[in-house]
A and B are shown apart, each in its own frame.
Chain A
């Protein structure tokens, strides 16, 4: 066992589809920092995220290892990795209330206080009194914030972001982007961001890997 630093570490990760190598990457993302992986669609950046998250389709094969805060998670089932996942769609579960979505993410079975925790998180995101609301009635920005709070309530140890801002309009994009990065920084979460938008990378301020050039 070699000693790995804290944060999210990708150690000689390589993903193949048949003979073709899609992605090859080694990287260390310290707590609170962002690694942006750039590339056009089809470059394999979402596949990389799926591998780290534990959702790689059986059609792909992968080598290398993933470490989180010094612990190898390559072979852990997805639900034990504690990686928060955000997609370009907020993906709030449509059959639950907004509050139900947040409560679903809570790890500790703390009974009555679960609702309080969720209400608190909603308030933090400027969504006070939204607990009983139908997710379908929220605006795009509200949904995005609710989705982020849902992820944060699950106490992740890192965030995986798959083009999370691409569907938001310009003003909203700015606002949500800074909200997400600020939350990640304040909680000391390493962030792996895949995007094709240079502005996302600039706003993240961390290291940038361009799959197109590799």
Chain B
């Protein structure tokens, strides 16, 4: 009994909050490189795609060769696992020597970690040497991550844009807007679905639909106003109600994530899938997951777009190595390889105008793959709504469709 009491006391002490630790001097990059030599960087990143895992392994090889930094890819099923780890370390008072050095992150996870002060600060991403190439002027999602100001707390790694894809062998006309998609589903009942929120892609689809149906898109950039919420969203939910009975399985179940969605397309259970990476379809064709008759399309009025980043927890053990990795990942060399569809196919965060001619030519020479739309064909980018919209829409969605029958 006494042992239990001691344990309780120990736990209470441990759960108490603690103070953050020292920062790195970024003005002297040489010194950062020196300090990083010999460090091991634990890079926590989703590990569900072999091509991405291979790309990270390649970057790790370069880091070891050039800087003597060992990169270990900790493969995650869900970024939340890494966030949980940092929370536990903070709870246990571990302000230094944390077990995570770099996290692949964006959106709500970033917003949460920023709010809970779990990130390395003050701003560092805009002081990395390769920031000079980053297109932060013309790509607004690099400085504002899902309406949350980035403030140099995460370094851009790649661009994402919502892209739909279908199998042309089935000879179907594809819709060009959310409203058209609802009509399409009446002609093809049971042949469309979307992952259930809060899955990232599922929520993004709802945001796309919301952005298209709302009378004045400007309200979405502001936090939700409870007083006007039901009026503003009335057309959106009316359309969603129309769509619901014509969904796959009559909307009584939803796929878990975009991978499940892609599998349904491959199994001919549905006719349209979508993802946030323009190269998704080409990659799936290359691995044999989709037939080579699959092609991508977007809505001509625009689809959602955003940026994904690398960030460093406040208590990272190898801060210098982590910054070095984040910087390398934003280099023209790493970005070029990343955009190569044979490797990954992820659009670059760099500005073509800021590169030297040889580098620019290399980017332009890339063959983006049979099912990938050219940068010019990707259409306009719609803004991500303020984060509060997603939370409210997810709640309302769960109430209406999530606990049905």
A–B in direct contact per CB < 8 Å: no
B residues touching A (Cβ–Cβ < 8 Å)? none
Interface residues of A (CB under 8 A from B): none
